[in-house]
Amino acid sequence: MSKKTYYISTPIYYPSGKLHIGHSYTTVAADAVSRYKRLKGYDVMFLTGTDEHGQKIQRKAEEKGITPKQYVDEIVSGIKDLWKLMRITNDRFIRTTDDEHVEAVQKIFKKLYDQGDIYKSEYEGWYCTPCESFWTKTQLVEGKCPDCGREVELTKEESYFFRLSKYQDRLIKHIEENPEFIQPVSRQNEMLNNFLRPGLEDIAVSRTTFNWGVPVSFDDKHVVYVWIDALSNYITALGYSAQDDTLFQKYWPADVHLVGKEIVRFHTIIWPAMLMALDLPLPKQVYGHGWLLLEGGKMSKSKGNVVDPQILVDKYGLDAIRYFLLREVPFGSDGIFSNEALINRINSDLANDLGNLVSRTVAMIDKYFGGSIPAEKVAGDFDSELIKLVGETPAKVEELLDKLQFSTALTEIWKAVSRTNKYIDETMPWVLAKDEANNPRLAQVMYNLAETLRIISILIQPFMPETPEKIWNQLGITDKSLVEWEKSKEWGVYPVGAGINKGDVIFPRIDLKKELEEIEKMSEKAAEANNTAEVPKAKEVQKPAKTEKTAEPPVDETNANLITIDDFAKVDLRVAKVLEAEKVEKADKLLKMKLQVGDEVRQVVSGIAKYYTPEEMVGKTLILVANLKPAKLRGIESQGMILAASDENGLSLVTIDKDMPSGAHVG
Ligand code: MSP
């Protein structure tokens, strides 16, 4: 009999810059489900990839003076590296610039046009370039994009339209009849009440104002709207409409599209309508998860609060990061990412609970029995309660994972971890060990610990790619058939006589206070570097220094890019006079100054204390970047930044060569 198939996808990512830990969230979740389904014996297709067309990418490439293809190639390779780092087990990686995809999108567009689902007309409306979304005037919020709050542009152009309105009633019916289609339920109501029931309008599905996209095959001044291009990836990746469509026949319809909540609309309205028009079955489910937020805002590069997955993995280890992502926030809700929450989770759940259980068990087997548990055993108090709880865990984990409830699935596993730690306290092996007559009982206690750990190590596999193997090594489990998924449901499988191997602590405890101080220093360093505009040396400008092991794609590292006069005009440079200056306590690099800028007095903190004393600063005339967003350095607000030139020998402040009043424009 052929295996049951399971098809899961993540959204395809915009290669518009470096991905942050929030992006890894969808992919790590999809990876955990894929691993789980494979362990359950499914034939899994796990698809991810990149969404490479559109005006946003074209503009970024133009700014950098390279072709869009050159631009995306570099970033896509960084994204692939990131998935390697996170040990993502995707079966396919689709790029919307792949020839096969482009061809298939052209066929889809032509088919819809030929059958009248796409027609030509004129479009006038508001376009949000970062979101690649069209909006009607009434949909705008205070004149801005309702999704991201950024500026929109008025566009008027000849365009092809997709008859979305035609599918409205069928869509409503489908959603009402298939409650599993949009999950969680709250998103279902949102789609029905906010979009579908008020009525759908036809949507513009081609653009003529830029050309970085899939050309409409029969009208090549048009390129296909990026969302039509991107959504199609879920079928083109499987060879839909290609000569060989075996994968498509095998895996479609998808079991689940995992997506962030802001793109549920595209996946549950436009995409199903397209599929209906193509006469194809709809995906069984679209699951809209919440966002990982950072200090009250969505993580985003533009907001400057990127959390780099590479740094996090280097610092805390992959399994800790994956555990945190899937445990901390119930899938579907928003959650906060903070270093403190991360370290607390690592210390309590991983170091104290699981790590400690492994170390204690292995150390006791070593100490009491020289490394392997003897065959003669006697059951006793507390055993049945432990065995019952651990025995019930696999079924609960499966039920929760089938519903994509990662956090509660982990909570169930950790109940077993805690119960086992409690079992050690209850049975007090160190007391039993005082009398040799207790050896059979002590052997049973040790066996129960090892056996529980075997079961736990099986169940954590979907979440943690590295830890299970470490536990098997320490417990001396070499026969992998003993740790197959189904074997988590059997008690008594751990082989008597297996020799344990005392190994390293699997999750070292982190000193929270020290770690937070270190992180604070790291971010201050970054802020200081940003807050004193050091004029880079010529050779640096041409070839930016490249730090090793950075996930930052080269295109983002360079400051050698040319800018236009308009770009430069955005910087408000002013003459400023130093009124007061003083050292910042416990920060030997920083000076805090009061600057006169026209009618205003600004407080500026700058990393120049090693080169200038407070006394010599007073009275100086400097150049201030006056429209820089305020930043905090050591908790002190800095309202702008002063310019300086620097090299390895020192630093010299930029000033002007004739007297000018403070507040005068520079430029
Ligand atoms: N290219 C589109 C998707 C097209 S699918 C046919 C896109 N790309 S994206 O790169 O902006 O986002 C990819 C995924 O990352 C989305 O599911 C998005 O919700 C998710 N996340 C981005 N930032 C996130 C957080 N801070 N937290 C959780 N998920 C987030 O959208």
What is the full DSSP assignment across 544-608? ----TT--S-HHHH-------HHHHHTS-EEEEEEEEEEEETTEEEEEEEEEEETTEEEEEEES-
466: pLDDT strictly greater than 90? yes
Closest CA to 33 of 255, 328, 271: 255
**316-356 confidence digits (pLDDT tens):** 999 999 999 999 989 889 888 888 899 999 999 999 999 99
User: In angstroms, rounded to a whole number, what is the distance separating the alpha carbons of residues 309 and 590?
Assistant: 30
Sign of CA dihedral 598, 603, 608, 610: positive
| Ligand 1 in reach of 79 Cβ (< 6 A) | no
- Which atom belonging to ligand 1 lies closest to the Cα atom of 298? 26
User: In angstroms, rounded to a whole number, what is the distance separating the alpha carbons of residues 547 and 554?
Assistant: 10
> What is the 11 CA–ligand 1 centroid distance (Å)?
7
Mean pLDDT of 359-372: 97
Q: What is the pLDDT of residue 543?
A: 23
> What is the 265 CA–ligand 1 centroid distance (Å)?
13
**40-84 confidence digits (pLDDT tens):** 999 999 999 999 999 989 999 999 999 999 999 999 999 999 999
> What is the 47 CA–ligand 1 centroid distance (Å)?
15
Q: Using alpha carbons, list the distances in angstroms from residue 51 to 300, 339, 353, 391, 604.
A: 17, 30, 41, 44, 42
> What is the 105 CA–ligand 1 centroid distance (Å)?
22
| Ligand 1 in reach of 298 Cβ (< 6 A) | yes
Averaged pLDDT score across all residues of the chain: 89
Nearest CA to ligand 1 atom 17: 260
> What is the 307 CA–ligand 1 centroid distance (Å)?
15
Please choose from 25, 128, 331 the residue to mutate so as to test ligand 1's pocket, defined by most ligand atoms within 8 A of CB: 25
Q: What is the pLDDT of residue 527?
A: 59
> What is the pTM assigned to this prediction?
0.78
Residues 6 or more apart whose Cβ sits within 8 Å of residue 519: 339
